[in-house]
Structure 1
Amino acid sequence: MKAAGRQVRASGEKPNGDMDRRPSYPGELRAKHATMSSKVWVKVAMAIAYFLCVSVAAFILVIYYVFFWTPDAHGNATSSAAAAPNRTECAPRLG
Protein backbone atom coordinates (compact mmCIF):
# COMPACT_ATOMS: atom_id res chain seq x y z
CA MET A 1 0.00 0.00 0.00
CA LYS A 2 1.33 3.43 -0.97
CA ALA A 3 1.63 6.32 1.45
CA ALA A 4 -0.77 9.21 0.95
CA GLY A 5 0.73 12.04 -1.07
CA ARG A 6 3.52 9.94 -2.51
CA GLN A 7 3.76 10.06 -6.27
CA VAL A 8 5.12 7.47 -8.62
CA ARG A 9 8.04 8.81 -10.64
CA ALA A 10 8.23 8.37 -14.35
CA SER A 11 11.61 7.56 -15.77
CA GLY A 12 12.26 11.13 -17.08
CA GLU A 13 11.12 13.06 -14.00
CA LYS A 14 13.28 14.66 -11.37
CA PRO A 15 13.16 13.19 -7.90
CA ASN A 16 12.10 16.60 -6.48
CA GLY A 17 8.76 16.69 -8.25
CA ASP A 18 7.52 18.72 -11.19
CA MET A 19 9.88 19.63 -14.02
CA ASP A 20 8.76 23.28 -13.99
CA ARG A 21 9.24 23.61 -10.26
CA ARG A 22 12.30 25.57 -9.27
CA PRO A 23 14.57 23.67 -6.89
CA SER A 24 14.99 25.13 -3.43
CA TYR A 25 18.40 25.88 -2.03
CA PRO A 26 18.41 26.03 1.76
CA GLY A 27 21.76 27.86 1.79
CA GLU A 28 20.37 30.73 -0.31
CA LEU A 29 17.23 30.93 1.78
CA ARG A 30 19.30 30.95 4.95
CA ALA A 31 21.42 33.79 3.58
CA LYS A 32 18.29 35.71 2.52
CA HIS A 33 16.77 35.38 5.98
CA ALA A 34 20.07 36.35 7.60
CA THR A 35 20.25 39.58 5.59
CA MET A 36 16.60 40.30 6.32
CA SER A 37 17.11 39.83 10.05
CA SER A 38 20.24 42.00 9.97
CA LYS A 39 18.21 44.74 8.27
CA VAL A 40 15.65 44.53 11.05
CA TRP A 41 18.35 44.86 13.70
CA VAL A 42 19.84 47.85 11.91
CA LYS A 43 16.44 49.56 11.90
CA VAL A 44 15.90 48.81 15.58
CA ALA A 45 19.39 50.05 16.46
CA MET A 46 18.84 53.27 14.50
CA ALA A 47 15.52 53.89 16.25
CA ILE A 48 17.11 53.35 19.67
CA ALA A 49 20.01 55.67 18.77
CA TYR A 50 17.59 58.38 17.61
CA PHE A 51 15.53 58.06 20.79
CA LEU A 52 18.64 58.31 22.96
CA CYS A 53 19.94 61.39 21.12
CA VAL A 54 16.63 63.21 21.46
CA SER A 55 16.27 62.18 25.10
CA VAL A 56 19.80 63.29 25.99
CA ALA A 57 19.24 66.68 24.33
CA ALA A 58 15.96 67.11 26.23
CA PHE A 59 17.63 66.12 29.50
CA ILE A 60 20.41 68.68 28.96
CA LEU A 61 17.83 71.40 28.33
CA VAL A 62 15.95 70.44 31.50
CA ILE A 63 19.15 70.65 33.55
CA TYR A 64 19.98 74.04 32.02
CA TYR A 65 16.56 75.56 32.64
CA VAL A 66 16.23 74.17 36.17
CA PHE A 67 19.68 75.04 37.52
CA PHE A 68 21.30 77.73 35.35
CA TRP A 69 18.69 79.85 33.55
CA THR A 70 17.50 83.03 35.24
CA PRO A 71 14.82 85.19 33.65
CA ASP A 72 16.16 88.55 32.56
CA ALA A 73 14.75 91.20 34.90
CA HIS A 74 15.82 93.99 32.52
CA GLY A 75 14.25 92.44 29.47
CA ASN A 76 11.01 93.30 27.73
CA ALA A 77 9.14 94.52 30.84
CA THR A 78 11.09 97.79 31.22
CA SER A 79 11.51 98.51 27.53
CA SER A 80 7.79 98.19 26.82
CA ALA A 81 6.96 100.52 29.73
CA ALA A 82 9.09 103.27 28.20
CA ALA A 83 7.44 102.86 24.82
CA ALA A 84 4.06 104.30 23.88
CA PRO A 85 1.23 102.79 25.92
CA ASN A 86 -0.94 100.19 24.29
CA ARG A 87 -4.32 101.82 23.77
CA THR A 88 -7.03 99.19 23.58
CA GLU A 89 -9.92 101.53 24.37
CA CYS A 90 -12.42 102.25 21.67
CA ALA A 91 -13.02 105.81 20.59
CA PRO A 92 -16.45 107.16 21.54
CA ARG A 93 -19.06 107.13 18.80
CA LEU A 94 -20.15 110.45 17.56
CA GLY A 95 -23.63 110.78 16.43
Structure 2
Amino acid sequence: MKAAGRQVPATAEKLNGDMRRPSYPGELRAKHANMSTKIWVKVAMAITYFLCVSVAAFILVIYYVFFWTPDPPHNITSTAVPNRTDCL
Protein backbone atom coordinates (compact mmCIF):
# COMPACT_ATOMS: atom_id res chain seq x y z
CA MET A 1 0.00 0.00 0.00
CA LYS A 2 1.34 3.39 -1.02
CA ALA A 3 1.50 6.34 1.30
CA ALA A 4 -0.89 9.18 0.57
CA GLY A 5 1.88 11.71 0.00
CA ARG A 6 3.92 9.47 -2.31
CA GLN A 7 1.37 8.68 -4.99
CA VAL A 8 2.86 8.74 -8.47
CA PRO A 9 0.61 9.87 -11.32
CA ALA A 10 -0.05 7.38 -14.10
CA THR A 11 1.73 9.55 -16.66
CA ALA A 12 4.98 9.40 -14.69
CA GLU A 13 5.07 5.62 -15.11
CA LYS A 14 5.11 6.07 -18.88
CA LEU A 15 8.06 8.45 -18.61
CA ASN A 16 10.17 5.71 -17.04
CA GLY A 17 10.69 3.94 -20.34
CA ASP A 18 7.31 2.60 -21.35
CA MET A 19 6.93 5.22 -24.10
CA ARG A 20 5.62 3.90 -27.39
CA ARG A 21 4.62 5.66 -30.54
CA PRO A 22 0.87 6.16 -30.63
CA SER A 23 -0.91 3.78 -32.95
CA TYR A 24 -3.35 5.61 -35.16
CA PRO A 25 -6.49 4.17 -36.64
CA GLY A 26 -6.59 3.97 -40.42
CA GLU A 27 -8.19 7.39 -40.90
CA LEU A 28 -5.65 9.26 -38.80
CA ARG A 29 -2.73 7.43 -40.40
CA ALA A 30 -4.01 8.43 -43.85
CA LYS A 31 -4.49 12.00 -42.64
CA HIS A 32 -0.90 12.24 -41.44
CA ALA A 33 0.36 10.67 -44.67
CA ASN A 34 -1.57 13.22 -46.73
CA MET A 35 -0.05 16.14 -44.82
CA SER A 36 3.27 15.69 -46.61
CA THR A 37 1.56 15.60 -50.00
CA LYS A 38 -0.33 18.79 -49.13
CA ILE A 39 2.97 20.53 -48.43
CA TRP A 40 4.37 19.48 -51.82
CA VAL A 41 1.19 20.70 -53.53
CA LYS A 42 1.58 24.10 -51.86
CA VAL A 43 5.23 24.32 -52.89
CA ALA A 44 4.39 23.32 -56.47
CA MET A 45 1.62 25.92 -56.65
CA ALA A 46 3.96 28.65 -55.37
CA ILE A 47 6.60 27.74 -57.95
CA THR A 48 3.98 27.66 -60.71
CA TYR A 49 2.66 31.08 -59.68
CA PHE A 50 6.18 32.54 -59.63
CA LEU A 51 6.94 31.15 -63.08
CA CYS A 52 3.68 32.45 -64.57
CA VAL A 53 4.28 35.95 -63.22
CA SER A 54 7.90 35.90 -64.38
CA VAL A 55 6.97 34.74 -67.89
CA ALA A 56 4.33 37.47 -68.17
CA ALA A 57 6.87 40.09 -67.07
CA PHE A 58 9.42 38.76 -69.56
CA ILE A 59 6.89 38.98 -72.40
CA LEU A 60 6.12 42.59 -71.46
CA VAL A 61 9.82 43.44 -71.44
CA ILE A 62 10.26 41.95 -74.91
CA TYR A 63 7.24 43.88 -76.18
CA TYR A 64 8.33 47.24 -74.77
CA VAL A 65 11.96 46.86 -75.84
CA PHE A 66 11.43 45.64 -79.41
CA PHE A 67 7.89 46.45 -80.60
CA TRP A 68 6.43 49.42 -78.73
CA THR A 69 6.88 52.87 -80.22
CA PRO A 70 5.80 55.80 -78.09
CA ASP A 71 3.46 58.43 -79.47
CA PRO A 72 5.29 61.35 -81.04
CA PRO A 73 5.50 64.25 -78.61
CA HIS A 74 3.20 67.17 -79.17
CA ASN A 75 4.71 70.37 -80.44
CA ILE A 76 6.38 71.31 -77.16
CA THR A 77 9.03 73.57 -78.68
CA SER A 78 6.43 75.84 -80.22
CA THR A 79 6.89 79.52 -79.34
CA ALA A 80 3.38 80.48 -80.37
CA VAL A 81 1.27 82.17 -77.72
CA PRO A 82 -1.62 79.94 -76.69
CA ASN A 83 -5.10 81.19 -77.50
CA ARG A 84 -6.51 82.04 -74.08
CA THR A 85 -9.99 82.87 -75.37
CA ASP A 86 -10.75 79.18 -75.89
CA CYS A 87 -10.35 78.42 -72.19
CA LEU A 88 -13.13 80.78 -71.10
Take 1:78 and 1:6, find their aligned partners in 2: how far apart are those partners?
90
Question: After TM superposition, where is structure 1 displaced by more than 3 Å over at least 4 residues in a row?
Answer: 26-30
**Aligned equivalent of 2:75:** 78
Question: Is 2:41 the counterpart of 1:48?
Answer: no
Aligned pair count reads 64
**Aligned equivalent of 1:14:** none
Higher normalized contact order (CA 8 Å, seq sep 6+, divided by chain length): 1
Gaps of 5+ in 1: 8-22, 86-95
**Aligned equivalent of 2:86:** none
Take 1:6 and 1:64, find their aligned partners in 2: how far apart are those partners?
69
Query: Secondary structure of the equivalent of 2:71?
Result: coil
**Aligned equivalent of 1:38:** 37
Task: Identify if the C-alpha distance between structure 1 residues 56 and 6 changes in structure 2 by more than 3 Å, giving closer, same or farther.
Answer: closer
Take 2:75 and 2:48, find their aligned partners in 1: how far apart are those partners?
45
RMSD of aligned residue pairs (Cα, Å): 3.3
Gaps of 5+ in 2: 1-15, 84-88
**Aligned equivalent of 2:8:** none
Question: Which structure shows the higher helix fraction?
Answer: 2
- CA drift of 1:45 comes to 1.0
**Aligned equivalent of 2:5:** none
TM score, norm. by length of structure 1: 0.50
Take 2:34 and 2:24, find their aligned partners in 1: how far apart are those partners?
16
Take 2:70 and 2:59, find their aligned partners in 1: how far apart are those partners?
18
